[in-house]
Amino acid sequence: MTRKKVTIVGAGMTGGAMAQRLIERDICDVILQDDPQFAGTMHFGKALDESQAASWEGFSSHISATDGWEETKDSDVVILTAGAPRKPGMSREELLNSNAAIVKAKVEQAAQASPNAVLVIFSNPMDAMCHVAIQASGFPRERVIGQGGALDSARYRYFVSEAVGVSPKDVHGYVIGGHTDTTMVPVVSQTLVGGIPLKSLLTSAKIDEVVSRTMRGGAEIGELMKVGSAFYAPSAGTIAMVESILLDQNRLMPCSVLHQGEYGINDVCSGTVVQLGEGGIQKVFEMSLDPSEQERVTAAAVATQDLLDQLTI
């Protein structure tokens, strides 16, 4: 039986971490694709280094690297991490047009090599880059999925677990809306800890602290690292999505998708809960929100539309 294949475009810190997490699951072959003009031979080095971990980590799948696209042909999933990362003090929006040009070129090539692939977009500003990817690929919304909510929700759940004093595994809450420091929406009204509403476990002031820290999650890490940005948690969220697609797990995860009426939003990519399985998005869910959350979700879509209006490609 032919193994599934996943191409990771961009072999920086995040792309490399994604490759490691994925290949060690032993569910597919992995290809690191990058441009030698920017990466040199780093992606080849990372692929070889991780290959040599196989005997101890116990995987038989193959990891390799390429400068081109022939080796990526007929990938089941293509993850786009290509583009400049955020630097400390930089907003995701500041990367708009430079990253849009990179994403457009990479997606066109990826779609030509793998016309049936699911695209997972990681490049920032992510919601706007999903639009670029949809236009460049011509793929339906079910096969162009933005990774942002998975990361933001992971941060939110961790901060909730710290505040309550429980395992993050027992926190069930989602962050939807936009993937920026100002437009993400932790859905407090629907957050449960072991089935117990969060609002009955923490004061409003403490919840506000958790929400504020969640929204600055990436910025806080950037400030601590001084150079570069987060890659451990982002890679974990992305590969959880990819695993659900490859193994047809039908998991419910918060992702950016082109809205078609959800929350009253049309033709804008924004975060909501989706069911991920074979072929990408199986179903799009609309969460029950309180009036404040609904207002912020609507504002997030407006902010993304404002970014789209600034695109020059």
Which residue matches tokens 């294949």?
A: 5
State the Cα–Cα distance between residues 40 and 12, nearest whole angstrom.
11
**Residues 188/198, Cβ–Cβ less than 8 Å:** yes
Identified catalytic residue from 43, 131, 179, 259: 179
Per the annotation, the verdict on 179 as an active-site residue is: yes
206-209: long-range pairs with CB below 8 Å, 24+: 206/163, 209/163
SS (H, E, C) the chain: CCCEEEEEECCCHHHHHHHHHHHCCCCEEEEEECCHHHHCCHHHHHHHHHHCCHHHHCCCCCEEEECCCHHHCCCCEEEECCCCCCCCCCCHHHHHHHHHHHHHHHHHHHHHHCCCCEEEECCCCHHHHHHHHHHHHCCCHHHEEECCHHHHHHHHHHHHHHHHCCCHHHEECCEEECCCCCCEEECHHHCEECCEEHHHCCCHHHHHHHHHHHHCHHHHHHHHHCCCCCCHHHHHHHHHHHHHHHCCCCEEEEEEEEEECHHHCEEEEEEEEEEEECCEEEEECCCCCCHHHHHHHHHHHHHHHHHHHHCCC
Active site residues: 179
